[in-house]
Amino acid sequence: MSESYSLIVPMTAHLLLLFLMAEAPDVEARLDQQVRGYVDRQQFSGSVLVARDGKVLLKKGYGLANAEWDIANTPATKFRLGSITKQFTAMAVLQLEQQGKLAVNDPACKYVENCPAAWQPITIHHLLTHTSGIPNFTSFPDYVLTMHEPSPPKDTLKRVRDKPLVFDPGTKWQYSNSGYVLLGYIIEKVAGMPYADFLKKNIFDPLGMKDTGYERWMDVLPHRAAGYERGPGGLRNARYLDMTIPHAAGALYSTVEDLYTWDRALYTEKLLPRAAMARYFTPFKERYAYGWAVSKFEGMDTVQHGGGINGFSTYIIRVPARNLVVVVLDNVLPAETGKLANDLLKTAGAPAKAQ
């Protein structure tokens, strides 16, 4: 019996190794083919990373990071993240709570001078979950007319502080960039340092995310992608946006490689204790947690978020139970990043057959 066992185990391991060796190129080819289909239809130009069980299945750039210099996108290209920024903002808030400097159930007005009376019932939890009722300033009719003007959080909040709430705090859900700008304002006040510096010190540096940060137009940023819009006459540069405006709601940049590092860290306690991490991913209304949407796709429980900002469209989907992540970063609008991400997720993580 022991002799048979010694023969079976090596053979099984050998067959498994052959299977894995055969599967990897096949999966990579299928994923690459899916992306190329979107590229051919002019629905995607950017960088993609797909990983499962700690193994990268696809990591590749498509199209141009800079059309004027004919420079290709690569996995090291830096893209504006747009609203993927919100998951980092939420992480910062929970880290400050762990440091004893605030609590998510604190009234937001505790940290806002001359706080409007209508905001008195709003808590930090409401801001994190888009249930504050504060109207979304990027939906205001005059927003596109003011995108080129610097507007740090204090100035941006002046645009919404005297407007009526859309609903009573905690009763409904409505996406609000205003709420996340307010969170950025609170982070800076409580931490005693700029939002960008807090994230660098407490998230990016500890994780080794050297290609992630707050985008400023005056910085010389190697491998930064330019943002474009596709029109009847072809590509054109995206409209200018002063990056003081999106702040904690959407001003970060990163790469697919750094976002994979971020994904890996979320399985650990490097940033938060296990209990706090569970709260981070616990949904409130409309299945929205703290900077993440909690959903289900093809039988898989996912946490995900997209981002859209001048010239860029982004998406990240994680399937924690399957150790699976898809990151799609695009620098030409319009783009189908969410649809592409879901297609890649389906290919990379097709549900196992019932036993």
Report pLDDT digits (tens) over 207-221. 999 999 999 989 999
pTM of the model: 0.91
CATH number at residue 107: 3.40.710.10
Query: Which tokens go with 79?
Result: 């893209």
Q: Is residue 311 part of a domain?
A: no
Cβ atoms of 94 and 280 within 8 Å: the answer is: yes
Number of domains in the chain: 1
**Residue 349 pLDDT level (bands cut at 50, 70, 90):** confident
CA distance linking residue 123 with residue 342, whole number of Å = 33
Cβ atoms of 114 and 104 within 8 Å: the answer is: no
Q: Is residue 51 part of a domain?
A: no
Range of the domain at 260: 77-279
pLDDT of residue 135: 98
Q: Is residue 218 part of a domain?
A: yes
Q: Is residue 297 part of a domain?
A: no
**Residue 24 pLDDT level (bands cut at 50, 70, 90):** low
Query: Which tokens go with 122?
Result: 């709003």
Using left for φ > 0, alpha for ψ between -120 and 50, and beta otherwise, residue 263 falls in alpha
Which of 111, 76, 121, 337 is closest to 224 using CA atoms? 76
Q: Is residue 222 part of a domain?
A: yes
CA distance linking residue 46 with residue 320, whole number of Å = 25
CA distance linking residue 279 with residue 268, whole number of Å = 14
Q: Is residue 295 part of a domain?
A: no
Q: Is residue 24 part of a domain?
A: no
Query: Which tokens go with 6?
Result: 């010694």
Q: Which stretches does DSSP call E strand in 252-299?
A: 252-254, 293-297
Cβ atoms of 48 and 327 within 8 Å: the answer is: yes
Q: Is residue 190 part of a domain?
A: yes
